[in-house]
Homo-oligomer: A and B are copies of this chain.
Amino acid sequence: MTLENARTALDNLQKTATAYHHALGLLFYDGATAAPRGTAANRARTTAVLTEELYRLNTRPETVALLEELNARRDELTHRERREVELLIKGVRKMQRIPLEEYVAFRRLGMEANAVWRQAKADNDFAAFAPYLQKRFEMSRRIAGYVAPEMDPYDYWLDDNEEGIDRALCDSFFDTVQQRIVPLLHRVMEKPQLPNDVIRGRFPAAQQALLSPKLMAILRLDPDHVGLATTEHPFTTSLGTHFDERITTHYYEEDYSYSMFSIIHEGGHALYNTGSDDALAGTVLDGGVSMCVHESQSRFYENYLGRSRAFCEYLFPTLQEIFSDHLKGRTAEEFYKAVNRAEPTLIRTQADELTYCLHILVRYELEKRAMAGELAVEDMPAEWNRLYKEYLGIDVPDDRRGILQDCHWADGYLGYFPSYALGNAYGAQFLRKMRQTVDVDGCLRRGDLGPINQWNREHIWRHGHLYRPAELFRNATGEGFDPTVYTDYLERKFTALYEL
């Protein structure tokens, strides 16, 4: 095969795979937004068939031969092509090692387990979910064993979510988090609590929905390419390429800030995806490079920007227009304090900026020990509750608000939770670097996110998967990962807020 032919075949392979990913993504998106509630089984069947078709495409002899040939001739390829081949061949070798039935069963378990989990959560019945969680750990260990028998299975899944991450790095990171944040939280809890009545009341969904497009415009999301829908648990997804991006939110009538920060968070994901160089569309290099970097962007917009005093000052008049009765005579400073109120709570997705990583720490410890066989599934709820008491100082009243609260383990995302916490920490270093050249607070006070987006686009977004996460991080910040930048930030912010 000539190199030109091989290049064309590589393009076609990626375009075909892109179409399958588009369809699979759309099936998921539809299920989480518009689909009638009795249609999950129908969607699961289609998802299984298309997953199998994609598996066949990726593992058929022509595909493998093409990738092996290109890999052998990697010196003749451009940097971009080499990276495409590297990622594709990694995926193919992984798929080749997993038997087809196991691969399809893994995807199918996610769908089945999600339905069981949903019911178990509603019924506060961990025992109903336990067999699926058991199967999830077993299957995950088995798959790690097929693909990387030389690796620890939990390290395999950590690396699967974030190239280059392992238990050693996570252990050291979470040690810092625990040592710095737990005492800080204790000091905060000794102080009078910040009032949050300025964000709480009765706000009909239709009223909150007036805010959403304004937020999307402030973030500078392109309305031609980024859609908004409502769902139970907000998420973001690219459909096929970064030219079609969907964010979602959920309106809680008692607190308008939930949907507001959902949109800013998911908007951060969408900015990252849609910021890919257009030339990467239709290749494996399109979109965000990893979960950590993705969360670094979503939580950057949500917390470092969205929960800053400067942004709160800019946004408050808009909020006063929409929630005029409630916010009459209130101040931006009250709003700033309300959205930064820190306190131990039961639910991760509603946690404040200070306690958030402690929720993740609990999950990290549990899944690490369960994967190692050191913690039995039936003992997980008690251990969950013990750790919430130890780190956050609160009693978990039931599993619904405890171990059953998240969908991740049901859906198959093991080794994923650490990304949320690491992403937070990455963001602190991006912010410190950005401040060297961008007047971040000035931009926020004017509501002009242009220069901030421009920095992120230049250093992070446009590169897609062109660089490994750690490489991208070093190129952007000029330094290695240092979690104390993050804990220092938290200490400064909450010392000032609570006058510690």
Contact = CB atoms under 8 A, between A and B. Distances in A.
A442 to B, nearest CB: 31
Oligomer copy total: 2
Given A49-B15, A53-B53, A41 B243 contact: yes
**Which of A33, A50, A224 gathers most chain B CB within 10 Å?**
A50
Nearest to A57: B53
Nearest to A12: B49
A382 interface: no
A27 B23 contact: yes
Nearest to A22: B46
A53 B245 CA distance: 24
Interface string A224-260: 1111010000000001110111100000000000000
A43 interface: yes
A112 B57 CA distance: 28
A36 interface: yes
A222 B38 contact: yes
Interface string A215-229: 000000011111101
A45 B21 CA distance: 12
A18 interface: yes
A243 B39 contact: yes
A29 B35 CA distance: 11
A246 B42 CA distance: 13
A472 interface: no
A206 interface: yes
Interface in A1-30: 15-16, 18-20, 22-23, 26-27, 29-30
Nearest to A27: B26
Contact of A16 (B30, B49, B223): B49
Interface string A365-378: 00000000000000
A35 B25 CA distance: 13
Contacts of A18: 45-46, 49
Nearest to A229: B34
Contacts of A227: 34-36, 39
Nearest to A23: B23
Interface in A61-84: none
A22 B246 CA distance: 20
A191 interface: no
A457 B464 CA distance: 53
Contacts of A41: 243
Contacts of A29: 30
A492 interface: no
Nearest to A227: B36
A276 B138 CA distance: 40
Nearest to A41: B243
Contacts of A222: 38
Contacts of A33: 34
**Which of A16, A34, A36, A282 gathers most chain B CB within 10 Å?**
A36
Contacts of A229: 34
A240 B42 contact: yes
A328 interface: no
A240 B45 contact: yes
Contacts of A34: 33-34, 227, 229, 246
Contacts of A45: 15, 18-19, 240, 282
Contact of A224 (B27, B38, B226, B240): B38
A407 B46 CA distance: 29
A22 B243 CA distance: 22
Interface in A157-201: none
Interface in A373-427: none
A45 B224 CA distance: 17
B239 A19 contact: no
B240 A37 contact: no
A30 B38 contact: no
Given A42-B244, A46-B240, A53-B53, A26 B15 contact: no
A61 B45 CA distance: 25
Question: What 7 pairs between A and B have smallest CB-CB spacing?
Answer: A38-B224, A19-B49, A23-B23, A39-B244, A22-B46, A19-B46, A42-B243
30 contacts: A15-B45, A16-B49, A19-B49, A19-B53, A22-B27, A22-B42, A23-B27, A23-B46, A23-B50, A34-B34, A34-B227, A34-B246, A36-B223, A36-B224, A36-B225, A36-B226, A36-B244, A36-B245, A38-B222, A39-B227, A39-B239, A39-B243, A39-B244, A42-B239, A42-B240, A42-B241, A42-B244, A43-B239, A46-B240, A206-B206
